[in-house]
Amino acid sequence: MHVSLDGFVAGPNGEMNWIKVDEELFEYASNRTSASDTALYGRNTFLMMDNYWPTAADKPNASKHDIEHGTWYNKVNKYVVSSSIQSDNPLVTVISRDMKGQLETLKNQPGKEIIMFGSPGLVHSLLELDLIDEFWLFYNPILLGKGVPMFGKIREHLPLKLIKTEQLKSTGVVCMNYERVR
Report the C-alpha dihedral over residues 138, 36, 182, 130, rounded to 10 degrees.
80
pLDDT digits (tens, 9 = 90+) for 94-151: 999 999 999 999 999 999 999 998 888 899 899 888 899 999 999 999 999 999 999 8
Mean pLDDT confidence for 82-94? 94
Helices (H), 34-173: 43-56, 64-75, 99-107, 120-128
Q: What is the mean pLDDT of residues 75-96?
A: 95
Q: Which domain holds residue 78?
A: 2-180
Q: What's residue 136's pLDDT?
A: 94
Measure Cα distances from 90 to 4, 40, 143 in Å: 36, 15, 41
What is the distance between the alpha carbons of residues 137 and 122, in angstroms, rounded to a whole number? 15
Distance CA 20, CA 22 (A): 7
Q: Total domain count for the chain?
A: 1
Phi-psi region of 97 (alpha: psi -120 to 50; beta: other; left: phi over 0): beta
Q: What are phi and psi of 72, to 5 degrees?
A: -60, -50
Q: What is the reported pLDDT for 124?
A: 87
Q: pLDDT, tens digit, for every residue of 151-173? A: 877 777 889 999 999 999 999 99
Residue 137 pLDDT:
96
- In angstroms, the CA 150 to CA 128 distance is 14
d(C-alpha 171, C-alpha 182), whole Å:
34
pLDDT digits (tens, 9 = 90+) for 20-77: 999 999 999 998 899 999 999 999 999 999 999 999 999 999 999 999 999 999 999 9
Q: 3-state class of 28 per DSSP?
A: helix
DSSP string, 63-75: -HHHHHHHHHHHH
Kind of pairing between the strands at 134-140 and 174-180: antiparallel
CATH label of the domain that carries residue 133: 3.40.430.10
pLDDT higher than threshold 80 for residue 14: yes
Separation CA 110–CA 7 (nearest Å) = 33
What's 109's DSSP letter? S
Count the Cβ atoms, other than its own, within 10 Å of residue 164: 10
Q: Are strands 134-140 and 113-116 parallel, antiparallel or unpaired?
A: unpaired
